[in-house]
Amino acid sequence: MSPLFPVHVDDVAPEGTECVRLRLVARPGDDTLPAFEPGAHVDVMTPSGLIRQYSLCGSADDPSAYLLCIKREADSRGGSQSLCTQVRPGMELQVSVPRNAFSLPAARRYVLVGGGIGVTPLLSMMMRLQRDNADWQLHFYARDPERAPFRDMLDASPYREHVRFSQSPRNGGYPAVLDTPDPDTAIMLCGPDGFMNAVFAHAVAAGWETGQIHTEYFRPTDSTHALSDRPFEVVLARSGQTVHVPAGQSIASALLAAGVDVALSCEQGMCGACVVPLLAGEGDHRDMVLTEEEQGGSIALCCSRSRSPSLTLDM
């Protein structure tokens, strides 16, 4: 887990009908908050004691505050629910320095596609793109668009001419811009895994290159893999140590058991905290962070396995 530091809860307010917005600032007497870039997220120690990751949805050009939006989840194990029901202005929370596994690439045009609470990392991107006078559009899919989070802001100038609301890709249609592939356009996609899979498949079928479609999952996708695969060895190139990874155990767990320090956060392959360089061997990648190109030289330790008898890591 990344080191945490205290912040002051400056404001708590409803956002739409299902979410709560938190504004976090530096404690009185502390320095300003660490800077971040659009698409970044932080770990938050929730009142329940669970660590959860939340996107920073405010302007990356405003170093005075972190803005979070938390959805009230019916199936919450206590993390998000405790933030929504127990946090009050004046309280302190512990958060991590922002990390970014979903940054804006260089492109001539940007198509932002968000489903539900998955719109949050796209908001900071939208603000940056608007500041830079970039060519961008946001397609926001929500169960009830009239009561969607941040509706008032998105309906106001200067954003409204760039934003389209729909209920679902099937009901409102996929963004028309996806019907015509453009090598100079980047697609930024975030939302529930079923929504993302549908939009991704539609774009690829239309002829878009997979490298143009940048994704961030809020929850791990369903996987047919199980950790009961065959055992393998991990070689740590810097120390020369070899660690046996048995069936049913993650690389991270085996390394920790062997006394090797591993940076962990979400432990579900969604945040990128545990990604390390892969020097040799073929990884069996099960994360939601690395692109196909990046998988050739990196691996997420918390969830991935090996297709070869051994992996050599730059550790």
Domain shared by 243 and 165, yes or no: no
Question: d(Cα 190, Cα 41) in Å, to the nearest integer?
Answer: 13
- Quote the number of domains for the chain: 3
Q: Helices marked H in 67-168 — which ranges? A: 79-86, 120-131, 151-155
Residues 202 and 243 in one domain: no
Structural domain contains residue 222: no
102 lies in a domain?
no
Cα within 13 Å of Cα(160), Cβ side:
6
Which of 54, 14, 102 has the alpha carbon at shortest distance from 219?
54
Q: Which CATH number belongs to the domain containing residue 135 in this structure?
A: 3.40.50.80
Last residue of a domain, one of 217, 243, 259: 217
CATH number for the domain that contains residue 44: 2.40.30.10
Distance CA 256, CA 259 (A): 5
Q: Residue 225 domain-assigned?
A: no
Q: How far apart are the first and last CA of the chain?
A: 17
Residue 104 domain-assigned (yes or no): no
- Comparison of pLDDT for 230 and 47, the residue scoring more: 47
Same domain as 142, residue 65: no
Q: Does residue 85 lie in a domain region?
A: yes
Domain identity same for 169 and 205: yes
pLDDT, one tens digit per residue, over 50-101 is 888 899 999 999 989 999 999 887 656 678 889 999 999 999 999 999 999 8
Could you tell me if residue 116 is inside a domain? Answer: yes
Of 71, 96, 121, the domain-final residue: 96
| pTM (two decimals) | 0.74
What pLDDT score was predicted for residue 264? 79
**Predicted confidence band of residue 271 (pLDDT cuts 50, 70, 90):** confident
Residue 303 and residue 264 in one domain? yes
Q: Domain range spanning residue 169?
A: 109-217
Both 164 and 137 in a single domain? yes
Average pLDDT, the chain: 89
Alpha-carbon span 249 to 34, nearest angstrom = 35
Regarding whether 57 and 11 lie in a shared domain, the answer is: yes
Q: Could you tell me if residue 167 is inside a domain?
A: yes
* Residue 266 falls inside a structural domain: yes
pLDDT for 215-238, tens place per residue? 987 654 444 344 446 899 999 999
Looking at residue 256, which CATH number applies to its domain? 3.10.20.30
Query: Mean pLDDT across the stretch 168-176?
Result: 75
C-alpha R_g of the chain: 20
192-207 average pLDDT score: 88
